[in-house]
Structure 1
């Protein structure tokens, strides 16, 4: 019996063919639904939003309440302003201050020599 996720992959995923992921040239990560550790970013971003109820169940099974990215510093979900953003706004300010302090320290020690 196929899972809902696998049926959606077979029907809507552009990278799926004959039981394999065409990009990675290996079996689809959702072929064996016994583990929740494997993830496919293409499926999560392009295919899964097509079915909101399945998307909620999918992320709920993985311990995520929502599909938002998480801050690398504090772990809280946040809205991205760009695709390279790694930190929430509050943490980004603090991380920038830390990096600037480190740079200034290194600059002063080089200048002292």
Structure 2
């Protein structure tokens, strides 16, 4: 990644933190970060990034394009990058789980139970149709 893009992204992140982050203080200080800085060095192509939890949850999603660019800069195994779209909530029990596809609606345990219920319903409907044919 060239230095111009790195500097541009860094300035956009800093501007967003300065203008919209409730924990940002003058000079780039942050109340939530252990090191006291709002923007810290992370292990990427030497890009400065804001990894404050408040910033990541509440401020950065307001700028979807910048958030996408920022998450692409993180390493593939970084926990912030992995949380992007893989987490799901089970429609049956309500627990959080990691999705394997974008259409997955149920956690592993509930998926089995849901498939059993659907199978029972299909078989019951099939048997009802068969009985109606035989009586006619």
TM-score, length basis structure 2: 0.46
Task: Give the number of equivalent residue pairs.
Answer: 82
Aligned CA-pair RMSD: 3.3
Deviation at 1:60, TM superposition (A): 1.2
Check whether the contact 1:20–1:27 (CA below 8 A) recurs between aligned residues: yes
Q: Give the distance between the partners of 1:87 and 1:51, measured in 2 at CA.
A: 25
**Structure 1 partner of 2:53:** 41
Give 1 or 2: higher strand fraction. 2
Deviation at 1:23, TM superposition (A): 3.1
Q: Verify: 1:11 aligned to 2:28, yes or no.
A: no
Moved more, 43-52 or 57-66: 57-66
Aligned pairs (5 A) from 1:1-113 = 3-18=11-26, 19-24=28-33, 26-28=36-38, 30=39, 32=41, 34-35=46-47, 39-62=51-74, 63=76, 64=81, 67-68=84-85, 77-80=86-89, 85=96, 87-88=98-99, 89-90=107-108, 93=109
With over 3 angstroms needed to count, the CA separation of the structure-2 counterparts of 1:3 and 1:32, relative to structure 1, is farther
TM-score, length basis structure 1: 0.54
Check whether the contact 1:56–1:66 (CA below 8 A) recurs between aligned residues: no
**Structure 1 partner of 2:102:** none
Give 1 or 2: higher helix fraction. 2
With over 3 angstroms needed to count, the CA separation of the structure-2 counterparts of 1:17 and 1:11, relative to structure 1, is same
Deviation at 1:67, TM superposition (A): 1.8
Gaps of 5+ in 1: 69-76, 94-113
